[in-house]
Amino acid sequence: MNPPIPNHYDPENARQLVGFAAAAYLSDRWDVADKIVDRGTDTQVVIWENPGDLIVAFRGTRSLRNFVTDIRARRVALTSGGPRQAEVHEGFQWALNSVYDALHSSVERLAGGPGSPRLWITGHSLGAALAKLFAIRCKSAIAGVYTFGEPRVGNAAFRDYYNALLKSCTFRVVDGEDFITRIPWLLGAYRHSGTEVFYPSFGRDALLRVPGCAAAQPYQISPPWWVKGFSDVFGTWQEWRRDGRIALLADHHVSRYVERLSPPNPNPLLPSESEGRDRIKITSKIRNGIPQP
């Protein structure tokens, strides 16, 4: 992992962290520093130790109990302090609470080890939301929070509170065709936090000129609404023209984010879209920068 720079999105760090977010779905295949699981909520978080780094990765939705967590979208008060008006998704907070004590103890023990490793927090989908909630409650210094396919977590007061504390090290990576990143909305009750890193649908085949960057990049930082609108239209048209359908959930799959953030010239061993969820089993083994079994 590269050393963190405040307010600077590092694509290489994102590439490595999305690998850990993907591997959290298959943690039984890797050597890990610790794994915390709550059977009641089926919430799972995995911790890896790399030289100089400690990576905390929350697993996303994978079971009926996780789905129940996702649909508990009533807003409740943030239990970890902050302004009285700050409210968050009830299901996400419920899931984090189920593992928080054990996770906090594990992170404190490992982060206090030799060399004081840098702490990185990541996750995909439901795991992204839990990563965000854990970050705001974490007592250790955080090097970076990188989330992938993150749904909205809290209201405007929570967004403002989170951004005041952690926006400089938080990057919310969004695939332009992933509709999960836009829910829950509930008539504007929910807002995103952190810095958005948007990979538009037309960026799959064309690089974008990013302000302040000498080289073109396939992403934009917090783009205006019309870029997202054009990305929606272009992506929908491309999917219909290519596949005769609109993918929706396939666009949210963690393997899509692994592919998006991988270097050019993707490995030809990557399985096809039709192989569905099992793609992660191969993708997570052949991409550079992710855990090795």
* Phi–psi pair at 106, nearest 5 degrees: -65, -45
Q: Answer for the pair 163, 147: CB distance below 8 angstroms, yes or no.
A: no
Dihedral pair phi/psi, residue 32, rounded to 5°: -125, 155
* pLDDT for 273 beyond 50: no
With cut-offs at 50, 70 and 90, classify the pLDDT of residue 274: very low
Task: Output the pTM of the full model.
Answer: 0.83
213-261: per-residue pLDDT in tens? 444 577 888 777 666 665 655 555 455 455 554 455 667 789 889 988 8
| Alpha carbon 113 to chain centroid, angstroms | 26
pLDDT exceeds 70 at position 111: yes
Q: Where are the domains of the chain?
A: 11-286
What whole-number distance in Å separates Cα of residue 37 and Cα of residue 119?
20
Residue 95 has what pLDDT?
A: 95
For 11-286, the fitting CATH number among 3.90.1150.10, 3.40.50.300, 3.40.50.1820, 3.40.50.20 is 3.40.50.1820
Residues 267-275 have a mean pLDDT of 37
**What are φ and ψ of residue 206, in 5° steps?**
-145, 135
